[in-house]
Chain A
């Protein structure tokens, strides 16, 4: 009841502003929690290495794929957790609820943020996935890894899925080299006075409290690939990757933008960074996840501490 009352009071307090803003035709939206703030069990990323595996339908060989799941519980970082998963042809729902599917290994961890496993699929499973897809394996076979993680969180298990691309070795000449995961070289933090510091993966960040630090992920140019694929009319086209970033943190801190895109066409990032990170007090961990838009992804992990 108190929460409801507070929301109503809050709404009333916002009314005058909303009245003016509404005259500019802007609506007041509910105050949902920010996507970047990790306060309970969350899946933040899943990396497949390689992101585009190769298979030879004639020889019956399929590349093994190492899957790493970044799953964080902001409230109980040391809680044990289990991951159960199924494999199937890719579906629109992201769940293996259509057609045949097979169970994958159940994984467990005692604290920490990662689950890791290596998939070695029989060639018959890849062939089945190709047959089950609407495009019959056109432009690569897509096998979906759908999983559920449970660490006893009150909100219940977290579900996620990752599509693993298997291309035929004979396609390499047509489609170019297989996709690679983009790898960040670090992150640059910019203070309001213009001073900067670069942080590598795993290095700690000392963040002054209540100061908005500009944050720019450092992605070497050679990590942005050009590739060939088919457009939605079936035409072969050449495209550059459009890397995108997601920002997450635990602890008492926030980003002013949860996501950002790498400046396209070689443009420079704005001087104030792609997002602003403000730590209030205490400590936590921030993650920067980069995705290439076609299945490749990786992340930086930066523990931070802040004092007033």
Chain B
């Protein structure tokens, strides 16, 4: 009568009050669910008498929290139904006993979805005493071949059994021709005939169950991650994967969260709290990577099947992360599924993607993934071949790969080895016209990384060590006719060898105190060459218009980081002071930074928390900025000071809200300066630490966490970001200062085979400096302008609605899905950039993405 259904739930925006379990050493991949909870005791509910008399039945869906001992700690209705049925189900479920779920082999609290079925029991069938045999079998979910635990198995004589955690069952039944019937809530019922001999054992054919209700055989652990920041916005895989407008790439969906400004077009810049992309660190499993997205707003460099979660820290994070002024985004990958061989492949207009995972033995798993784009091959087929009008387009060509192996040692230590890499270049597609433009462009960025990870737990101590090696190559060259940036041959090439070591020791003698000690070391050796044609001209100085610059150098850079952080829990108050020290060395220069950080959280009630934070952050100059010809080797560190205050409210298990005020002051920002003369000599440092920035605002997030059918959130940011370039200048608006940023995401799954989702965005237009006058410059043949400050004018409001629909076809061994993603479904004309004609008399805008349908198929086994 009763069976089990588990559904994927979602971790909260910020960690709720920590459950009684040891936090992990570093914020990396979440633990894997290695054992589902099994229902051991299920006292029956009291059937409402009137319903029973009328012969009425019902299904009551609940969300059940099971603690590490298997007891029910909390149960709530997922959907309100008849009050008498609901009350009876809740009362019964509170008395249930389960076997504990296990994460990485250890008992742990989980949340499951449980449907209590009120059915009227049949009278037991009187069975004559006959010889019996044994039927064994296995029940798996169709489409993904994962076991279905808790399924009811009966035969035509009334014999009963329940499948275990691996989907297996054993049934004692009378000899003869039997029909085995398997039923589980949320699945269709399947029967199978077989012949059973007296005293014999029959292995029944595997039974595949197809879903009839929305849900998934997985569970997650709320609050599992270590408490490492006052504000951490986490999106789970399921919440990420089907957000419209993300081009089927879940990592792009993070750009919908509050604190992130909208990047123009389909761009992937991470514009956190009114600061440029370089102020936010991008990490993969705790290690810094050169880029998160492929060129020109392409998909992320990590296959979505490896993705465990994305942690987005908009500011105020602890001492673990450093060398950035504002935010951090850490993408965590997962271990391969230990239950069997699985894989996925997908094909769409842009790319093909493949993924496979398999256990090697009970302690070892491996997974592989690869991606390749082919837009450069297909785009010419769609561009009209009009001899009167040629079309030239620059398109990205990219590929990436990942390979990860995990192994668990007999002493419980965990090892992982992760190889991944990415390659991007730009390709020119030309079609139509009478002549092909003699244009050549080579922009290339490739990187490869190898990360080794070791974790060890010894009583109150947890240790982790993660060395990494990397190779990064970036090159640029152009050779074209015409003038401007591509007018003359330009080449630049840099190769960087990177060695990194992250290590941490965590000591937790009690639930009230945790100490973290860690190192974060990075050693880079950059060898680079450049052959550039500079076209700098300062009219008032009259210096050369065109100048050739050739360099060929090797530049080592060392970055030494150490941190310590204590986490104190004093009743309702959590207090986390931290200190991070960094040392930077390049050429014969050394810079040091001391970053104290502090954040606190106070639980007003079990549902309401207050939080506050303040901290200092430092960031070194970027590589080219400390070159003596391209930049200024004497540059100093940039610094930032952040402070914030917020409140978080959990209205129910499904609805949460948060509000946060933030202020981010930045100084010694590196800005470009014009040449001048000092004592009759030219003084041209190119770059100086002259800039000051400030950003402040309010972030709101209202979230409806994933349940069986619905999920979504509303994010709103009200902010202002300004820059003061040089002493004596006026404050001007940051390039992507967007006063209002509103994003609403909603998803709905009416059946297991359909998912509909939508995203609506409304943001303020980007600021720009309007041209106030222009004059023809006879020496260059172009027009010289005077203009106002950035922020004197803005582009119009940005407004866009995206929709997505996905249909699945599920077979026994595999499934496939067809999806359609339509961006800007209303074809709203959004103006991204303000442009002028050649003499600055006519004005116009570069339009954003028009209505853009994309579709693709993906298969899974």
Contact = CB atoms under 8 A, between A and B. Distances in A.
B548 to A, nearest CB: 7
Interface string A244-287: 10100000000011111100100000101011101000000000
Nearest to B776: A160
A20 B379 contact: yes
A137 B433 CA distance: 49
Contacts of B676: 134
A138 B682 contact: yes
A146 interface: yes
Given A135-B677, A160-B776, A232-B675, A289 B781 contact: yes
A30 B393 contact: no
A24 B375 contact: yes
B779 A95 contact: no
A35 B680 contact: no
A17 interface: yes
Contacts of B784: 92-94, 161
B547 interface: yes
Contacts of A264: 488-489
Which of A30, A160, A276, A295 has the largest count of B CB atoms less than 10 A from its CB?
A30
Given A28-B850, A133-B541, A43 B776 contact: yes
A90 B539 contact: yes
Interface string B522-565: 00000000000100101111111111100000000000000000
Interface stretch (B61-69, B71-79, B607-615, B839-847): B839-847
A161 B542 CA distance: 14
A232 B349 contact: no
B266 A22 contact: yes
B832 A93 contact: no
Contacts of A133: 540-542
A45 interface: yes
B351 to A, nearest CB: 11
B18 interface: no
Which of B375, B488, B539, B838 has the largest count of A CB atoms less than 10 A from its CB?
B539
A87 to B, nearest CB: 14
B778 interface: yes
Which of B543, B686, B852 has the largest count of A CB atoms less than 10 A from its CB?
B543
A242 B677 contact: no
A275 B481 CA distance: 9
Contacts of B394: 24-26
Contacts of A291: 779-781
Interface string B454-491: 00000000000000000000000000011100011100
B346 to A, nearest CB: 16
A165 interface: yes
A14 to B, nearest CB: 8
Interface in B339-392: 349-350, 375, 379, 382-384, 390-391
B848 interface: yes
Interface stretch (A75-83, A101-109, A120-128, A233-241): A233-241
B637 to A, nearest CB: 24
A162 B779 contact: yes
A136 interface: yes
A139 interface: yes
A86 to B, nearest CB: 12
Nearest to A47: B778
Given A90-B540, A92-B539, A246-B781, A239 B548 contact: yes
Nearest to A46: B778
Interface string B818-861: 00000000010100100111110110111111111110000000
Contact of B482 (A27, A43, A260): A260
Contacts of B391: 17, 21
B835 A261 contact: no
Interface string B294-333: 0011100000000000000000000000000000000000
Contacts of B677: 134-136, 138
A197 interface: no
Given A15-B850, A23-B375, A134-B676, A91 B540 contact: yes
A92 B779 contact: no
Contacts of A24: 296, 375, 379, 393-396, 429
Contacts of A256: 390, 433-435, 437
B546 A15 contact: no
A108 B676 CA distance: 39
B540 A20 contact: no
Contact of B434 (A12, A35, A274, A276): A276
B393 A146 contact: no
B622 interface: no
Contacts of A206: none
A155 interface: yes
B606 interface: no
A175 interface: no
B350 to A, nearest CB: 6
For chain A, the bracket of interface size reads: 35 or more
Contacts of B349: 23
A33 B841 CA distance: 11
Contacts of B489: 264
Contacts, number: 230
A161 B776 contact: yes
A231 interface: yes
A89 B853 CA distance: 57
A295 to B, nearest CB: 6
A289 B835 CA distance: 26
B383 A234 contact: no
Contacts of B675: 232
B434 A212 contact: yes
Contacts of A84: none
Contact of A239 (B379, B396, B546, B786): B546
Nearest to A233: B684
Given A30-B844, A93-B786, A264-B488, A22 B849 contact: yes
A159 interface: yes
B681 interface: yes
Interface in B392-424: 393-396
Contacts of A20: 379, 382-383
B507 interface: no
Contacts of B848: 27
B777 interface: yes
B775 A92 contact: no
Given A25-B396, A237-B547, A242-B533, A19 B775 contact: no
A155 B780 contact: no
A35 B838 contact: yes
B542 A139 contact: yes
B541 A26 contact: no
B545 A11 contact: no
B265 interface: yes
B533 A276 contact: no
B438 interface: yes
Nearest to B843: A30
A73 interface: no
Nearest to A34: B838
Contact of B777 (A33, A94, A234): A94
12 contacts: A18-B847, A21-B391, A22-B850, A23-B379, A30-B844, A30-B845, A135-B682, A159-B775, A230-B682, A231-B544, A233-B684, A234-B681
List the 3 closest A-B pairs by CB distance, nearest first: A30-B844, A234-B682, A46-B778
Interface of B: 265-267, 296-298, 349-350, 375, 379, 382-384, 390-391, 393-396, 429, 433-435, 437-438, 481-483, 487-489, 533, 536, 538-548, 675-677, 680-682, 684, 686, 773-781, 784, 786, 827, 829, 832, 835-839, 841-842, 844-854
Interface of A: 11-12, 14-15, 17-30, 32-33, 35, 43, 45-46, 89-95, 133-136, 138-140, 142, 146, 155, 158-163, 165, 212, 229-234, 237, 239, 242, 244, 246, 256-261, 264, 270, 272, 274-276, 278, 289, 291, 293-295, 297
Given A22-B266, A25-B297, A25-B395, 8 more contacts: A15-B850, A17-B384, A29-B844, A90-B539, A159-B775, A161-B775, A257-B437, A260-B482
